[in-house]
Amino acid sequence: MLEWAIIKPRVIELIGEARAARLKEERRVAIVGRLNILAALLKQELRKGHDWPSPIDAALGVPEIRDVLLLPNEAAVDVDTFQFLHKALRAWVPQWREQARRDLANAVHARMRDLNPSTDPSDLAVAALFRCTRCQALESFPQLLSHTFRCERFEGPLQIEGDDIAAAGFPASYSTEGPEDGRWVVRFPRWQACDFRPEVDALRRLVERCGLDPRRATVKDMDSAEARLAVLNNPGQLQVMDWVVALQHCIDAAHHATHEQEYDDPSREISTMPWSEALLAEVNKLVLTPPNLLKEVSALEAVSRKYKEKKILTGTRWICSRCEYSAVTGTEEDVVAHLGKCHDIADPSRMYDYVPTRPSKATRAQLGSTVYLISKDLQEHDENGWRFLGWEDVEAGVSSYCDLSGIQE
């Protein structure tokens, strides 16, 4: 009896902890099940072209949705329970969008001091694109409201306090157990303006490079401009891009230079340059495509856009769950090859090492034109096409031989 008296408090404490953990998990499972129903209904709206909020945003913003999710565990919840959804969202979503627009505009004003505070920057080219700080993808408003992170992970141990609904969005969605290293897939990410950075300085430099005034140039002005930006990948190899693709190229290059991650050479030296300086350094490498080559570029761009639409918008896309900063996406074959090459995983496990991405609209940068101009001086060495340079796009007919003597370094 004496021994029981000693251990009784601890035993009761352990029983209480186990009961609390069980009840918490039961609650989470109930809420996640209801969020899945909500997500399916929201996905139907996305197919109609609407930029609806994520299930978590809708649940935290619309009281009627929150009430359904927080019903007792034993309460039956199905599609019919959400009959009010469309009407409730129609009333709330405009307010949500407007608040997001104001938050993004404030972020632009904070980085563009010479802009009149009363000016709405939403039409300006320098304020048209925002970089997702999680996955480095470029998005524009309002499409970024339904942005799906390519880098969909919560790093570290799964410890989320507070709101039951917010916490329910974080546990891994593709398996009941998370990876041993504590990396979890986020099933229902929340949208936050702070996750998107307006790269005003880089865009200002790009607009100036195209010969326009960054304080006045609109997106329409940039789209209609004949100027095309290019980078010399190697002597005799010119990659030509529209202004949106050019910025995404610079972002990816700056990220590659400043982050030690899944790239080909793990022994490479990582730049200590601040992000903003690294990005501007990449922008400064861009050159204007000579006017005499623009006709050739225009013909190739039409082919490039059709090729990208077919490649990106068809088939299942997969995402590498091993990348630590910027996740690699592609076909299953592409991602499996990436895992073997960059992570030394010869036999990767589906749903663990790589998972399917959620359906989402492709970004403008993904669908933008990218073409290649190759020096005629190299043509005589090309018996089997330019695939030996590692350009899969060559098969799509987005490259051509030209006289690049005036712009070669």
Render pLDDT for 146-171 as a digit per residue (tens, 0 to 9). 775 544 444 333 344 446 666 665 54
- Paired tokens of 189: 């990410």
SS3 379: helix
CA–CA separation, 348 vs 350, rounded Å?
7
pLDDT at 392: 53
pLDDT at 173: 39
CA–CA separation, 95 vs 83, rounded Å?
21
Residues in the chain: 409
SS3 390: coil
Q: Strand pairing of 318-320 and 354-356? A: antiparallel
CA angle 257–262–268, rounded 5-degree value: 45
Q: Enumerate residue ranges in the chain where pLDDT < 70.
A: 1-2, 45-51, 148-189, 260-271, 311-316, 323-328, 351-352, 355-362, 379-397, 406-409
Stretch (H or E) spanning 131: strand 130-132
Helix 275-283 vs helix 200-209: crossing angle, to nearest 10: 10
Contact 150, 319 (CB under 8 A): yes
- Alpha-carbon torsion 94, 97, 102, 103, what sign? positive
HSE-up of 61 (CA within 13 Å, CB side)? 22
pLDDT at 314: 66
Q: What does the domain layout of the chain look like in residue ranges?
A: 227-317+357-402
Contact 355, 339 (CB under 8 A): no
Residues 6+ apart with CB under 8 A from 347: none
CA–CA separation, 185 vs 76, rounded Å?
27
Residues 6+ apart with CB under 8 A from 329: 150, 317, 318, 319, 320, 335, 357
pLDDT at 361: 61
If you compute the radius of gyration of the chain from its CA atoms, what whole number of angstroms results?
A: 25
CA–CA separation, 320 vs 357, rounded Å?
10
